Amino acid sequence: MNEVETTLSIQMKRMAVTLLDMQHSRFVSASETMDLSALQSEVYNQFFESYIDATLNSPKSVACKFLDRDNDIVTKMNRYVEYPDDTHFLSLANDLSNKLYQIMQTVSNSNGSVFVAHIELIGEDYILLLKLDPKDAVQIDLETLHLKTIENILPDVSSRVQKCALIRMDYDPLEENVYVLDKQSDGEPAKFFMETFLQATPIASDKKKTKMLMKELYEKIAESLNEEQTPHLQRAIDEEFEHGKYIELDASVHNIYEAIAPPENREDFVEQGAKLFINEFTDRNPDFTPTFEVKRDDLHVVYKSVEGEIFFRYDKGLDNIDVKHDQVSGTYTITVRDADTFGFTLHKKPL
């Protein structure tokens, strides 16, 4: 098994590709896993990462949970979780792809390739299922200005008809356990992939609620602050919205206003500001549940090169790391104070 780590700290552990030839009623299964180390870094950095990022973070994505724990996708996945080797992964990839092929026979004649991958994202394992419809494209030779047709080009994430699912391998029936990106040409979510194939239903995502509330709190309060006060506001929001903490909307909003209130007219600032924010926020988001668990994926500061050759990440809560950029020399200096307290060492990740 050849693992590859991408610039978003996504480890691609295994991948297989199948073909859905709907026009000729033919399903072509995968006979072996892909050699991930043989693929160019751009395939990950500019292609697969964009789908993964969109499926987790795009406004068009949907957080879902499986309708029941006996879902056959969960059953097939758990078999691979129990025996995580190439043989069982190929069985999982072919079973999922063939299920999609069988269901699509009655509703579509659109050929496509299905990519199934085992990935690790921020320490959590997922199954990625990505169905793409290859297209033909025209390429121009910049020297001769001649045109030629290139067949079977895979579309990027901005294309109008794609299907992508990220399935948590650590299944919890009480949590969102599958994230779905499925848009049709009219821009509306396509329910076929989510409901018929995945047999999942949308739920409110704590992660999206966390992002929404933190963003709107910062933007609203920052309007009334001087620029030099905004770092204090950001720290107050970060401390209140601690990952894994259960919060209540009214109490957390009041806590933020308390933390940044000026000495003069302090009580009025807190009561009036918090009340106005809560009223406006709930009017815009009537379905927003007031109590939820904070789910954050912005807990790290990341520096990386454009092509991903250099990657540096650290917990944003640490105060003993400095990164300075000398724009004249183009030099970045990273200082880790008291590094021994972390058992800090540099090591090369094995391929």
Angle between helices 266-284 and 206-222 (to 10 degrees): 130
Instruction: Confirm whether 152 is domain-assigned.
Output: no
Give the whole-number percent of the chain exceeding pLDDT 70: 78
Which among 90, 61, 82 is positioned nearest to 200, based on CA atoms? 61
Same domain, 189 and 96: yes
Give the residue-averaged pLDDT of 126-153.
64
**Model pLDDT, residue 45:** 56
What's the Cα-to-Cα distance from 265 to each of 118, 258, 262, 271, rounded to whole Å?
55, 12, 7, 10
Instruction: Confirm whether 347 is domain-assigned.
Output: no
* Predicted confidence (pLDDT) at residue 320 exceeds the cutoff of 50: yes
Same domain, 223 and 312: no
- Residue ending a domain, choose from 257, 277, 293: 293
Same domain, 333 and 212: no
* Predicted confidence (pLDDT) at residue 158 exceeds the cutoff of 50: no
- Residue of 314 and 239 predicted with greater confidence: 239
Instruction: Confirm whether 96 is domain-assigned.
Output: yes
Q: Give the count of domains, the chain.
A: 3
Same domain, 30 and 179: yes
Contact (CB, 8 A) for 118 and 125: yes
**Model pLDDT, residue 33:** 92
Same domain, 15 and 63: yes
Instruction: Confirm whether 155 is domain-assigned.
Output: no
Same domain, 214 and 262: yes
Give the whole-number percent of the chain exceeding pLDDT 90: 29
pLDDT in tens, 26-75: 899 999 998 887 766 666 556 778 778 878 777 677 888 898 888 999 99
- Residue ending a domain, choose from 172, 203, 234: 203
* Predicted confidence (pLDDT) at residue 78 exceeds the cutoff of 90: yes
Return d(Cα 256, Cα 62) in angstroms, integer: 29
Instruction: Confirm whether 158 is domain-assigned.
Output: no
State the Cα angle at 142 between 139 and 143, rounded to 5°.
130
Contact (CB, 8 A) for 14 and 117: yes
Instruction: Confirm whether 154 is domain-assigned.
Output: no
**Model pLDDT, residue 249:** 92
Instruction: Confirm whether 175 is domain-assigned.
Output: yes
Which among 212, 229, 224 is positioned nearest to 289, based on CA atoms? 212
Residue with tokens 């047709």: 149
Residue 322 pLDDT grade (very low, low, confident, very high; cuts 50, 70, 90): confident
**Model pLDDT, residue 293:** 87
Tokens of residue 3, six digits:
């693992």
Same domain, 307 and 269: no
Tokens of residue 302, six digits:
């990341």
Residue 152 pLDDT grade (very low, low, confident, very high; cuts 50, 70, 90): very low
Instruction: Confirm whether 118 is domain-assigned.
Output: yes
Q: Alpha helices, DSSP H only, in the chain?
A: 41-42, 49-57, 72-82, 86-104, 191, 206-222, 230-240, 249-260, 266-284
pLDDT in tens, 189-236: 456 788 889 999 887 677 778 888 998 999 999 998 888 888 889 889
Return d(Cα 323, Cα 303) in angstroms, integer: 9
Same domain, 323 and 285: no
Same domain, 33 and 111: yes
Same domain, 69 and 194: yes
Return d(Cα 330, Cα 32) in angstroms, integer: 45
SS (H, E, C) 33-68: CCCHHHCCHHHHHHHHHHHHHHHHHCCCCEEEEECC
Range of the domain at 319: 301-342
Residue with tokens 């190439």: 86
CA end-to-end distance (rounded Å), the chain = 10
Look at residue 10 and give its three-state secondary structure: strand
Same domain, 336 and 245: no
Contact (CB, 8 A) for 255 and 238: no
Tell me the whole-structure pTM to 2 decimals: 0.57
Same domain, 227 and 310: no
